[in-house]
Amino acid sequence: MMPRPSLLAAVAATLWLLIAGSAIAGDADTVTASNAWIRVLPGNLPAGAFADFTNASDHAVALTGASSTRYGQAMLHRSSTEGGMGRMEAVDKMEIPAHGSAKLSPGAYHVMLMQAKPAVVPGDNVVITLSFSDGSHKDVTFQARPANAL
Ligand SMILES: [Cu+2]
């Protein structure tokens, strides 16, 4: 039995979208993430997520947010030691320069993960969806490590 013409049209349209989509690379496609990990703290304490990024494109890219099905909330934060006091604040983006790199790291930019459901323990692999300023998204697998990990 031959597929119905309407089904063929739907398949053709889908293929076209896939081809067109890959031709117009989003920021998520030009950014590579590595060494992605989460520092798990005891109890209900928020966990920091860290990773190294490189941007292969000719323009700067901005990481603007994160989400994960394993956490009720994920926010982009930046730690600092202004005036000798350790503090952190929510920020709306972290820039990754053209042909450059940037990192989420302890004491600097990080993704703050709150309300784990169920609890995340060292050894778990957690997928976090990262958002970029052009609206593109990238799923990155973060490995959960113990509180004393560096
Ligand atoms: Cu934080």
Does residue 139 fall inside a structural domain? yes
Residue 18 lies in a domain: no
Average pLDDT along the chain: 89
Task: Answer yes or no: are the C-beta atoms of 74 and 109 closer than 8 Å.
Answer: no
For residues 66 and 122, give the distance between their C-alpha atoms in angstroms, rounded to a whole number: 20
3-state secondary structure 49-101: EEEEEEECCCCCEEEEEEECCCEEEEEEEEEECHHHCCEEEECCCEEECCCCE
C-alpha of residue 132 to centroid of ligand 1, in Å? 19
Residue pair 138/68 in contact (Cβ under 8 Å)? The answer is no
| Within-domain flag for 11 | no
In a domain, 43, yes or no: yes
Q: How many domains does the chain have?
A: 1
pLDDT for 135 equals: 94
Res 45: pLDDT: 92
Distance (Å) from CA 76 to ligand 1 centroid: 7
**113 domain residue, yes or no:** yes
Cα 118 to middle of ligand 1, angstroms? 20
Q: What is the pTM of this model?
A: 0.81
Q: Pick 2 or 122 by higher pLDDT.
A: 122
Tell me how far the alpha carbon of residue 87 lies from the centroid of ligand 1, in angstroms: 9
Domain assignment present for 15? no
Query: Is the pLDDT reported for residue 10 higher than 80?
Result: no
Q: What is the pLDDT of residues 83-133, one digit of tens each?
A: 788 899 999 999 999 999 999 999 999 999 999 999 999 999 999 999 999
> Considering the domain boundaries, does residue 9 fall inside one?
no
Ligand 1 center to 96 CA (angstroms): 19
C-alpha of residue 52 to centroid of ligand 1, in Å: 17
In a domain, 13, yes or no: no
Q: Which domain holds residue 137?
A: 27-145
CATH number for the domain spanning 64: value is 2.60.40.1890
The region of weakest confidence among 14-18, 27-31, 84-88, 133-137 is 14-18
pLDDT confidence of residue 9 = 72
pLDDT score, position 124: 97
